[in-house]
Amino acid sequence: MTVSEREAVLAVGDPDPIEGRSPGSLVWRRIRHDRITVASLAIVVLLAVLAVAAPILRALDVIDPDTPHPELVQGIGSVPTGPFSGASAKHWLGVVPGVGQDVLSRVLFGLTFDFTIAAAATALTVLIGTTVGLVSGYYGRWVDASLSRVTDLVLAFPQLLMLIALSPLFLGQPPRNARVVVYLIVVLAVFGWPYLARVIRSEVLSIRELDYITAARSLGAGPGRILIREMLPALRGTILVYATIVLPTYVSAEAALAYLGISLQPPFPTLGTVLNDALPYATSDTTYLLVPGVALVLVVLAFNLLGDGLADAMNPRSGRM
């Protein structure tokens, strides 16, 4: 190649340059090409923003979940005046039958409390499950056997049943809201971590003999460094997907417990308590039942679709993306 030809090539440049991409950028690229995952991610972000913004909006007097408006209902215990639960410019989703509280404000605060409880329980679940799975899979032998028996023992107790059975012992009568929040977070996590622990353990068993782990061990890296610096980054995808799946499960569990009276007490609303309060008005004021029901379905569906999309995006062999 002559000098002039080389200069011409350099001037034009490579028409198809090879661009290096990190694993994170590849995952994000797959997510952007999946409309369902993008839509579910947008809904999750919107719900999270509303949950965080609800206390701020209340402080600014934009929403008010507690103030009654008896003039908007036909007497105590009756339905609101007007269609769609008395929806208006001031009360977009209507008012609560009997008392006239703003439904939208109560649903937004329900998102706040539900997300707080579910996010804290999910974080504690991930912490316990990841720790047990890492230690069990890495050390093996009697450590693995002991932790596996503990995992099997916890799995023998149904989570929802234990939440109901232990409530009289730890909550007391009447239950205090602070104690209820701590109780729900702890019991959900204590009986929810074994599923993640088993998944993490199986993955650790498959990667602990890989070349980069063996190299780190031969260079003198201790167990702590190998577990945290070498193995844990390889498990981030699994942990993230599991968190997006278990969080809506905990939101649904709160709704089921609210039906049984195990939830925050008035005046603090959750999606479960709002839905439970709407059940007596299922025929006389269907809109009041639909609003918290649709909100609960939207939370669960959006997180589940997001979890499926993340699982496919992090799996290069998946044919979906």
Question: pTM score, two decimals?
Answer: 0.85
Task: Return per-residue pLDDT of the chain as tens, 321 residues.
Answer: 554 555 554 455 544 444 556 666 777 788 888 889 899 999 999 999 999 999 999 989 888 888 888 787 876 557 777 777 778 888 888 888 888 888 999 999 999 999 999 999 999 999 999 999 999 998 888 998 999 999 999 988 888 888 888 887 787 676 677 888 888 999 999 999 999 999 999 999 888 888 888 888 888 888 888 888 888 888 888 899 999 999 999 999 888 888 787 888 877 888 888 988 888 888 888 888 899 999 999 999 999 999 888 888 877 665 555
Given this model, what pLDDT does residue 174 score? 67
Given this model, what pLDDT does residue 76 score? 53
CATH of domain 25-67+102-313: 1.10.3720.10
Given this model, what pLDDT does residue 23 score? 64
Given this model, what pLDDT does residue 3 score? 47
Query: What whole-number distance in Å separates Cα of residue 105 and Cα of residue 175?
Result: 24
Given this model, what pLDDT does residue 213 score? 84
Structure tokens, 117: 């409880």
Given this model, what pLDDT does residue 19 score? 53
Give the start-to-end residue ranges of the domains of the chain. 25-67+102-313
In this structure, is the dihedral angle defined by the CA atoms of residues 259, 264, 266 and 268, taken in order, positive or negative? negative
